[in-house]
Amino acid sequence: MSRNPTPGFRRHPRVADRMSAADHDLVTQSLAAERAGDAARALELHASVPALNLRSRHNILLAQIAALGTELPDWVWARWIAYQAVRCEDPDSETGKMQRVALKYAIETFHEDQLADCHANGGDPVKVVSWVGAESWLFHQVLLHEMGGLERFVDEQVTGRLAEHAALARSWVGAPLGGYLIGPSLPGGRLRIEDLTGGSWTEVLDLGARDSASAGWVLGRLVPSGIGDLLMFDTAPIAVPERVARAVAAAPKPWLRVKEALDEGRLVERAFMRTDYELVTDVPSIELLRIGTPPADLDRVTAQLRAGRDEIPRAAFRILRRAADGVADRTEAPRIAAAVLQPAALADARRMLVREGQYDVWAGWAALVHEPARGLLLDLAHASRAAG
């Protein structure tokens, strides 16, 4: 008898099948805490549900935000709001209804091959929906901006401290999708980019977009950062070929150009899926593994990561050790910032890299980056001074 399943959608086991009514209530409470801007409480509640994966990207992001406390830069609050908006599935809310419409559109327009494969292999379509909802840059952008999901979420769901910091997120509404060329990092935590619409160069907040930009040509949206008049990418931009970046920049309807490029094979749909969704940096956490691991060890360490070992914080610590030893180049400042924002790596740095005479080293790195990484690096600097 063949082991190959016959075509057709099937309902496979799901996480919700292992959750009790009390577990669902804890998830509801966790969402309420997050929408009020209390990451620590949201994390506590989320982590108390046995069926949920504590190594999920959501748990990692909550832990990262919670570790930073409540004194966050406005751009972090804004990104956190946008992240919550794409996850809003509340069935009786306008945001939830909008999210479902956007998901349906994104799957049918950009990810239809995944649904077709799922049907051919006897899979569960909910797995495709969950995958697109969690990882598709295309879905996130369409929901938040073209369909107005960001503004709707702020109006309908945001409360408490999160509402107090929602003004910057509101200012992002209406930002156009554009094509850009990523240039060099500059002193003072700035990144030089070319806006392909008019061929003009400008400086934006440098959160490490060069590490996700491949050859340098990207799609993204420039929005206010809340730091003077400096702009930033609303989320890490997506790498594309030069031809696509220029076509999108010149198009009155940029999404038509994206769809054409996908249909013609000039873009690959899976390239828009992000397993490493980031909030406080534009450096993908998998890049920290590559950067912070000796080349001879990379295959072994990557295999250990796939086997379930938490290798990202270890790699981040190795990056911080290079920074402390003075062997990292100043152009690596965004990577140093991304590394220090890994809570476990920071804890290890406080135990093992705080040494007498290191104040100037850590303070020097702090001067090259922005909050919240700047404050953490300054903490290491002051601890080094105290150690003397």
| CA 315 to mean position of chain CA atoms | 18
Whole-number Cα distances in Å, 87 to 65, 96, 144, 329: 16, 9, 11, 38
Whole-number Cα distances in Å, 29 to 48, 263, 373: 11, 42, 30
Rounded-to-integer distance, Cα 112 and Cα 104, Å: 10
Residue ranges in 217-372 assigned as alpha helix (H): 242-250, 254-263, 285-291, 298-306, 312-325, 333-340, 343-352, 359-366
The β-bridge relationship of strands 238-239 and 217-220 is antiparallel
3-class DSSP state of 47: helix
- For residues 16 and 48, which has the higher predicted lDDT (pLDDT)? 48
pLDDT tens digit sequence for 97-139: 999 999 999 999 999 999 899 999 999 999 999 999 999 999 9
Q: What angle do CA 265, 253, 195 make, to 5 degrees?
A: 85
The residue behind tokens 């979420």 is 153
pLDDT tens digit sequence for 75-99: 999 999 999 999 999 999 999 999 9
- Output the six-digit token pair for 319: 């990056």
Asked which of 148-157, 171-180, 200-209, 327-336 is least confident by mean pLDDT, the reply is 327-336
Quote the pLDDT of residue 138: 97
Quote the pLDDT of residue 1: 41
Rounded-to-integer distance, Cα 201 and Cα 204, Å: 10
Rounded-to-integer distance, Cα 91 and Cα 97, Å: 7
Q: Closest by alpha carbon to 282, among 330, 337, 356?
A: 337
- What percent of the chain stands above pLDDT 70? 99
pLDDT greater than 60 at residue 296: yes
| Upstream peptide bond of 7 is cis (omega within 30 degrees of 0) | no
Average pLDDT estimate for 271-277: 91
Average pLDDT estimate for 360-376: 96
- 369 secondary structure, DSSP code: S
pLDDT greater than 70 at residue 3: no
The model's pTM is 0.94
pLDDT tens digit sequence for 185-239: 998 899 999 999 988 999 999 999 998 888 899 999 999 999 999 999 999 999 9
pLDDT greater than 80 at residue 2: no
